[in-house]
Structure formats: structure tokens, C-alpha cells
A = this chain, B = another copy of it.
Amino acid sequence: MTANPLLRFGVSFSDPALLDRALTHRSAGQANYERLEFLGDALINTAVSIELYQRFPRASEGDLTRLRASLIRESSLAGLARSIDLSDYLRMGGGELKSGGYRRDSILADTLEALIAATFLDGGWECCQQLVRALFTSSLEGVDLSAAKDAKTQLQEWVQGRAMPLPDYVLVDATGKDHDKLFTVACRVDGLSLSVEAEGRSRKLAEQAAASALLDRIKEGSGK
């Protein structure tokens, strides 16, 4: 019988074949986790979205999207997989095993996703949501809303902290037809001898891109 890496979370499987499959890399057989991973990727995304939506009732859609991206990116999921020693449970073929596949971020993240899908298929939605909540407890507690601030907000706070005037955004150019426009915006801060231009599919996006480029320039400058 396959050892269950989720026992510590109180998750057990009525159908042990699902657990088997979730822990089997394609190099070790046909009954592998690839289809489960398809499902698990979506399930993690949703379960984490729900946690963020409920924990941060005042966060904007953009902030929530950025927070979610940082929580569920491959390296974050691989970190969670390592925290439960997932590589000890993984079944791989000889080649992958020799090349150290069980250490790779992508394989660890995929296996974690597959396990979450197996939990859903075996135990239902509530069980899956509880597992995700347990897995992400400390990541969720460590969430820094300020890290999710958009570039324009960050730039504004930076200049305000230095008693400079607010950044200036000027639309320089707009080309293309209605459904395919491209906007160019210049961003400038009085008192800084820096001015950058950036493009975007909307004026708002171009302004964000310009603010982000200016922040990069400021960081480069202070790094010298």
C-alpha cells in the first residue's frame, strides 16, 4: 500500500488507486499523475482565491491577482511539497531518478497539484479546500498586502516619502484600431532627472508599465 504524505493533514483515501496515481510520474508508468495535475492546478488556484477573497475584504481585484500569483507560482508550490517531504513518496522511472527529477521544482509542484486533485476526487470539495487551507496556512499568514501594491501606488508612495511632487503621466502616442490599440505613456517626477516611456494595451496599463520602469531606474540608481 502506498504511503500517504497527507496523513498529517488528516486526509485519507477511500480509493488508494487515486493516491497511487497522484504519486506516479509519467516515467514510472501509464497510470501517472498528468491528468490529475490538470485538475489540481485549477483546484489550487480556486481554493487559494477563495482564501484571499475572504481574508482581504478590502483588497482590489488587481491586488488579489498579484497575491495569488505569488502564492501559487511553481517555486512556492515546490516549497510546500518539500515541507511535507513529497519527494520521499514520489515514484519515478530510472532515468528521471538518476537525473534527480525528484528535486526539480516543476515535478514537485506538479505532484502537489495532483495530490490536491486526488483529494478532491476522493473526498469532495470541502476536503480539498481544507487541505489547501492547511497547506497554505503560513504562506497566507505571511502575506504582505503592500507587496501586492501596483507600480503607480508604489511610485507615488516613494516620492511622497521623499517630499517630492507626484509623478506626472503624459499620453505620448496612441496607435492602432479600436480593438488593437497601443498606448505610449511617459512618466516623469519633478526633482528626479529621470523620464521613461512605456507601452500598453490601454492607457492604464501603459501608465503602470511606465511607473514600473521608473521604479526600476530608481533601484538601478540606488544600487550603484
Give chain A's interface residues, CB within 8 Å of chain B: 34-35, 37-39, 42-43, 45-46, 49-50, 53, 59-61, 64-65, 120, 125-126, 129
The answer to whether A39 and B60 have CB atoms under 8 Å apart is: no
For the complex formed by this chain, how many copies does it contain in all?
2
**Chain A interface mostly:** helix
One of B34, B64, B125, B129 near A126 (C-beta < 8 A): B125
The answer to whether A42 and B35 have CB atoms under 8 Å apart is: no
A61 CB, nearest partner CB in chain B, Å: 4
A64 to B129, CA, bound (A): 23
Point out the residues of chain B lying under 8 angstroms from A125, CB to CB: 125-126, 129
- Asked whether A46 and B35 contact (CB < 8 A) given A125-B125, A125-B126, A126-B125, the answer is no
Point out the residues of chain B lying under 8 angstroms from A46, CB to CB: 42-43, 45-46
A39 to B49, CA, bound (A): 6
- Asked whether A53 and B65 contact (CB < 8 A) given A46-B45, A60-B34, A125-B126, the answer is no
One of B43, B61, B129 near A35 (C-beta < 8 A): B61
